[in-house]
Amino acid sequence: MTTRVKVCGITRLEDALLACHLGADALGFVCWPGSPRFVEAEQVRAIVTALPPFVATVGVFVNQTPEYVAAVASTAMLSAVQLHGDEDPALYAGVGRRLIKSVAVSADFDAARAVNALSQRVTMLLDAHDPIRRGGTGRTIDWKVAARAAHLRRVILSGGLTPHNVAVAQSSVRPYALDVSSGVESAPGVKDPVRLRAFFGALVDRDTASDESTRATAPDPNAH
């Protein structure tokens, strides 16, 4: 199965459209004012309404109330909510959106315990531990540890992914999805087209699928 990709920290329409053109399955919008990639709900809505169909839109929140999250999700037309703080996902069941919960992979991370602690109805996102910035740090996590979690349940791999390391991370962890932000930026919230293209070009199974598709549609030189 093709590994899905979420491009997070979107603040500009042109970046969103390029990510979709390259094959992004989801776009992430940081709805937490403490981030340099913060975007207002109305800004998100303006971008979302211009997107092609079938692209998921995810709002990233940090320790904000369920009522606030629900209001922003509605205004911004989000299809999913990512909780990136210390939230109890059970308290956000009434938001009415699919839930993703960020789990920090620190030195004492226990994959089995983390997997068992999170409801199967909530998608787990593995990221670097940073209680201040809460993501977008550019720091990688221990992929061997992440692989143990990915073996037990569906996970999204985040943390320091770049065009240079994504193929190794993808092959090592075999996650359900990859989440990239700072690794394809020229500045916080500004995606670099060259890096973004390189990231998608480096994906292992997408490259394979693309090659097979090309061979399947190419004309047979021996045909008469």
Scanning the structure block, which residue is given the tokens 């009434």? 94
Confidence band of 215 (pLDDT split at 50, 70, 90): very low
Q: Quick one: what percent of the chain has pLDDT higher than 90? A: 81
pLDDT digits (tens, 9 = 90+) for 59-116: 999 999 999 999 999 999 999 999 999 999 999 999 999 999 999 998 788 999 999 9
What domains sit in the chain, N to C, each tagged with a CATH number? 4-217 (3.20.20.70)
Among the listed residues 81, 6, 82, 13, the one whose alpha carbon sits nearest the alpha carbon of residue 46: 13
- Amino acid 224: pLDDT: 35
Rg of the Cα trace of the chain?
Answer: 18
Averaged pLDDT score across all residues of the chain: 89
User: So what's the pLDDT on residue 138?
Assistant: 64
Closest to 61 in 3D by CA, of 44, 86, 43, 79: 86
Cα–Cα dist 126/178, whole Å: 10
Cα–Cα distance for residue pair 156/14, rounded to 1 Å: 25
Report the C-alpha gap between 81 and 78 in whole angstroms. Answer: 7
Task: Quote the Cα angle for 94-100-101, to 5°.
Answer: 100
The average pLDDT across 184-199 equals 97
Instruction: Band the pLDDT of 210: cuts 50, 70, 90.
Output: very low
Catalytic residues: 8, 127
Burial of 133 (0-12, 13-18, 19+ CB in 10 A): middle
81 phi and psi, to 5 degrees? Answer: -125, 130
Question: Within a 13 Å sphere around the CA of 172, how many CA atoms are in the beta-carbon half?
Answer: 13
Which range is least confidently modeled, 49-53, 108-112, 166-170, 217-221? Answer: 217-221
20-70 pLDDT tens trace: 999 999 999 999 999 999 999 999 999 999 999 999 999 999 999 999 999
Q: CB neighbours of 177 closer than 8 A, spacing ≥ 6?
A: 3, 4, 5, 6, 25, 26, 156, 157
